[in-house]
């Protein structure tokens, strides 16, 4: 299969290498010259994706900044996975996806199949993506080119494994489009392909899987807050509840971040005016950073004025160099509002990176309190020696070795683990 993957980010690049690893002819297109140069040099442009560097070294992916020219070569399959970004209110910012769609349309040839993988509100593939492709190419969707939706479903940090193991879900504009897309993904990736009958059903499946997780985490967070008031550790309680097959409660935590989980429930809500749970769940999850600050305030004697507080981890989660909707920002803001001086550190970010992101880098001066925001593996072995001066810690991810801190007289609590 000849494939062009448009956008070589944390999703697109692993996908391109997965096609290449199976011997297919793959070209990747990205507007970022540094990304293209790195890929052409056989290097991953971002860290911490197991197997990706090795894969790029053994089965190279050719990369270009010219999407239209790559598509004009007449590949059988074009996959678009340019992220659909949103503003702070969760409203889609269509510019990047539209620009990529127009560039694909500008090169599109009769007989090519185009699949959108970017998570989008239901209806986008038909009314926006296919329509823009048709307009930019002068061709007719379905008659001249097949088009449909196939959600990317991977997690950064396990992208190649996820691509090799999760079923690929596909939905076409028409059954004929869907047949073509299913055939190409089956041949291209060699995984189970599940046909959902329409692009809209495939779009909805992605919103269902992510909204489910957000609502589930919100429920875990409510359980955790209640457990805090009861003085019960919620961890073993959830494990006990989950020890039969009908309970699947996730883990509570200080924040739900990243450009997926906080956003896709909003896409869902935009299409379902009657829905209540996803909106409530968003509110619950967005309140968690302030709750963590409240826990710290109580531990530090009820007042954070002039306290120096260290945020551990600005990445939205451990091991992933991404700060979209990271809990670090609401934590910083809530702490600042409470009168604290806030500093931050993160093993994935330099001091200059931190400053560019709006954080004051920790300089080793003693702090009064700390909040663990991201579950970086490095934090498992932190000791009181690494956090000079710290008297109280809220471990928002349950990753620290508590006994080490407790032994040194540091007050340490978690979310639902008093």
Ligand X SMILES: NC(=O)c1ccc[n+]([C@@H]2O[C@H](COP(=O)([O-])OP(=O)(O)OC[C@H]3O[C@@H](n4cnc5c(N)ncnc54)[C@H](O)[C@@H]3O)[C@@H](O)[C@H]2O)c1
206 near ligand X, judged by CB under 6 A: no
From residue 318 to residue 357, the character string flagging contacts with ligand X as x (rule: CB under 6 A) and all else as - is: ----------------------------------------
When asked if residue 202 is in the footprint of ligand X (CB under 6 A), the reply is no
Rounded-to-integer distance, Cα 151 and Cα 100, Å: 17
Total chain residues near ligand X (CB under 6 A): 28
Determine whether 156 is exposed, middle or buried from the number of CB atoms within 10 Å of its CB (0-12, 13-18, 19+).
Answer: buried
Among 40, 109, 142, 155, binds ligand X (CB under 6 A): 155
Is the torsion defined by CA of 17, 23, 24, 28 positive or negative?
positive
Q: Which backbone phi and psi does 3 adopt, to 5 degrees?
A: -125, 140
In the complex, minimum distance from the CB of residue 253 to ligand X, in angstroms, rounded to a whole number: 17
Does the protein bind ligand X through residue 290 (CB under 6 A)?
no
Give the Cα separation of 398 and 312 in Å (integer): 13
Task: Report how many helices (DSSP H) and strands (DSSP E) the chain contains, helices first.
Answer: 17, 15
119 binds ligand X (CB under 6 A): yes
**Does 81 participate in binding ligand X (rule CB under 6 A)?**
yes
| Residue in 1, 8, 70, 374 binding ligand X, rule: CB under 6 A | 8
Is residue 158 a contact residue for ligand X (CB under 6 A)?
no
CB of 5 to ligand X, least distance (A): 10
Contact range with ligand X by CB under 6 A, out of 47-55, 76-84, 172-180, 336-344: 76-84
Q: Residue 298 is encoded by which pair of tokens?
A: 């109580």
Q: What angle do CA 230, 368, 346 make, to 5 degrees?
A: 95
Q: Return the residue of 20, 100, 130, 182 that touches ligand X, per CB under 6 A.
A: 100
Using CB under 6 A as the binding rule, whether residue 184 contacts ligand X is answered as: no
Q: In terms of CB distance, is 6 or 390 closer to ligand X?
A: 6
Length of the chain: 418
Give strand pairing partners of 80. 6, 116
For residue 125, give the DSSP letter: I
Shortest approach of ligand X to residue 155 CB, angstroms?
5
User: Minimal CA–CA distance to 256: which of 278, 294, 287?
Assistant: 287
Site residues for ligand X per CB under 6 A: 6-12, 29-32, 35, 67, 81-84, 96, 99-100, 118-119, 152, 154-156, 259-260
């Amino acid at each position: 299969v000849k494939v062009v993957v448009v956008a070589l980010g944390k999703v697109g690049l692993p996908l391109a290498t997965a096609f290449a690893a199976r011997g297919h002819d793959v070209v990747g297109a990205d507007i970022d010259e540094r990304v293209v140069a790195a890929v052409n040099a056989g290097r991953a442009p971002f860290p911490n994706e197991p197997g990706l560097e090795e894969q790029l070294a053994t089965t190279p992916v050719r990369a270009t900044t010219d999407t239209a020219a790559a598509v004009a070569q007449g590949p059988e399959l074009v996959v678009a996975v340019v992220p659909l970004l949103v503003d702070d209110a969760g409203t889609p910012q269509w510019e990047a996806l539209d620009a990529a769609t127009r560039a694909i349309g500008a090169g599109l040839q009769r007989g090519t199949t185009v699949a959108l993988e970017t998570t989008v509100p239901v209806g986008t593939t038909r009314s926006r993506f296919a329509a823009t492709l048709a307009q930019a190419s002068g061709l007719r969707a379905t008659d001249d080119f097949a088009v449909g939706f196939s959600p990317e479903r991977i997690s950064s940090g396990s992208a190649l494994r996820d691509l090799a193991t999760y079923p690929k879900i596909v939905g076409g504009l028409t059954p004929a489009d869907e047949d073509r897309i299913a055939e190409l993904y089956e041949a291209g990736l060699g995984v189970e392909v599940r046909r959902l009958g329409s692009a809209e059903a495939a779009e909805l499946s992605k919103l269902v899987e992510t909204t489910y997780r957000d609502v589930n985490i919100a429920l875990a967070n409510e359980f955790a807050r209640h457990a805090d008031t009861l003085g019960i550790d919620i961890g073993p309680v959830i494990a006990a509840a989950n020890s039969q097959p009908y309970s699947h409660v996730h883990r509570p935590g200080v924040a739900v971040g990243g450009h997926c989980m906080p956003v896709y429930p909003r896409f869902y809500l935009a299409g379902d005016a009657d829905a209540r749970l996803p909106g409530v769940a968003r509110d619950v999850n967005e309140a968690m950073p302030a709750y963590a600050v409240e826990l710290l305030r109580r531990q530090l004697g009820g007042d954070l004025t002039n306290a120096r507080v260290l945020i551990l981890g600005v990445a939205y989660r451990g091991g992933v160099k991404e700060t979209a909707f990271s809990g670090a920002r609401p934590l910083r803001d809530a702490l600042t509002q409470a009168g604290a001086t806030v500093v931050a550190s993160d093993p994935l970010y330099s001091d200059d990176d931190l400053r560019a992101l709006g954080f004051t880098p920790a300089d080793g001066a003693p702090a009064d309190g700390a909040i663990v925001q991201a579950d970086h593996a490095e934090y498992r072995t932190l000791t009181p020696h690494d956090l000079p001066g710290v008297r109280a810690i809220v471990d928002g991810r349950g990753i620290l070795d508590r006994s080490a801190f407790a032994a040194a007289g540091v007050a340490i609590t978690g979310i639902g683990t008093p």
